[in-house]
Amino acid sequence: MSETAALRPPLTHLSEEEELFRAAVYEFADTVVRPRVMDMEAAGKIDTAITAQCFDMGLMGIEIPEAFGGAGGSLFMTTLAVEAISQVDASAAIQVDVQNTLVNYPVYAYGTEAQRATWLPKLTGGTIGAYALSEPGSGSDAFALATRAERVDGGWSLTGSKAWITNGGEAEIFVVFANVAPEKGYKGITAFIVTRDTPGFTVGKKEDKLGIRASSTTSLHFEQCFVPDDQVLGEVGVGYRIAIDTLNGGRIGIGAQMIGIAQGALDASVAYLRERKQFGKPLAEFQGIQFQVAQAYTELEAARLLVYNTARLRDAGHDIVREGAMAKLYASQMCARVTSLCVELFGGYGYTKEYPVEKFYRDAKIGTIYEGTSNMQLQTIAKSVLLGK
């Protein structure tokens, strides 16, 4: 056994403290979020009361030290929170996930002390953030950015557009990536902190989506948008490193969302199978159905262990490029299979909005797309295994 392998934490479930935390978050989701889910789905907007309670509970700054208004927790705690909320509503969960993994993390990890003191208390205290990397012509090829940052007196002038920005409708603080030197390729990419009220910056249309409908997904537009030097995040030209590092952790959050969705769909299905009768007995007593549910639970547990272990590795300081890709890939594939099965287990009822499984099914699909498609995860895994990259 190598020294690195010996240091890696074993695959484990939860300590008593972790279980209590997850239970508390689930209780919040069950009692506060659940009654509002369908109204939020219809309105295409997360209830602001839910967002406020997430801030009050410390769920919007889980990993940030208490000195900056955070809870002083870990990525694993964020993982548990996202999983628990996703069992009820994936839209509310992704708002929490993005805030923690894609916004708070890079500001804390790469920001100066002055930037931390300025921005983190806002992000943990009531202000929504968003992460802006993707563009209309730059999706999987994330570093083919067309958004430009031109040097001007006292700062930078940003021009371009972003697409598919989660939390874009509510966010007031944005971590934005632009290229300051296109001739250098990805080595010109730089990260900036941009506020919603900055002249030249506008939030575009909200997308009408298949799933996670209450979560806002918008475009962003920059027209000679001035950003001062003290809002450059990290060094000029190392934005690609910030983006990659941030997304590696973010994929754990998506994995957590997927296992939560699958768990929620299975919980609803098991309750239904115990009550629904055909041919004089509950559906839960038919062996064909028993085997399908058993298979689904096994796949869910395998995905959960992948996600949990990757979160623990990250918290322990290990490189998780391959593990993060594997966890996100498998969890999203599992979730798509399991939620599809759950719709079928409900029969015709599963295809209606009277029961929750059709929403779980729709919410699941995004997992194979955002924060890196399944093909991109496969490419990352293959390069690691076969080429040592």
Q: Provide the 3-class DSSP secondary structure of residue 281.
A: strand
Token digits of residue 360: 């779980």
Q: Which of 126, 105, 130, 108 is nearest to 117 (CA)?
A: 108
Query: What is the domain partition of the chain in residue ranges?
Result: 3-127, 130-238, 240-387
DSSP 164-213: EEETTTT-SEEEEEEES-GGGGGGGEEEEEEETTSTTEEEEEEP--SS-T
What pLDDT is recorded for position 110? Answer: 98
Query: Could you tell me the CATH superfamily of domain 3-127?
Result: Acyl-CoA dehydrogenase/oxidase, N-terminal domain (1.10.540.10)
- The answer for residues whose C-beta is within 8 angstroms of residue 310's C-beta and 6 or more apart is 252, 255, 320, 323, 324, 326, 327
59 near 96, Cβ under 8 Å? yes
> What tens-digit pLDDT sequence spans the chain (389 residues)?
333 444 444 445 788 899 999 999 999 999 999 999 999 999 999 999 999 999 999 999 999 999 999 999 999 999 999 999 999 999 999 999 999 999 999 999 999 999 999 999 999 999 999 999 999 998 888 778 999 999 999 999 999 999 999 999 999 999 999 999 999 999 999 999 999 999 999 999 999 999 999 999 999 999 999 999 999 999 999 999 999 999 999 999 999 999 999 999 999 999 999 999 999 999 999 999 999 999 999 999 999 999 999 999 999 999 999 999 999 999 999 999 999 999 999 999 999 999 999 999 999 999 999 999 999 999 999 999 999 88
Token digits of residue 241: 């490193």
Q: Considering the domain 130-238 in this protein, what is its CATH number?
A: 2.40.110.10
Q: Which amino acid is at 69?
A: G
Q: Which residues are catalytic?
A: 371
Topology of the domain comprising 240-387:
Butyryl-CoA Dehydrogenase, subunit A; domain 3 (1.20.140)
Cα 300 to Cα 309: distance, rounded to the nearest angstrom: 14
Q: Torsion angle of alpha carbons 339, 342, 346, 349, nearest 10°? A: 0
What pLDDT is recorded for position 12? Answer: 55
What pLDDT is recorded for position 139? Answer: 82
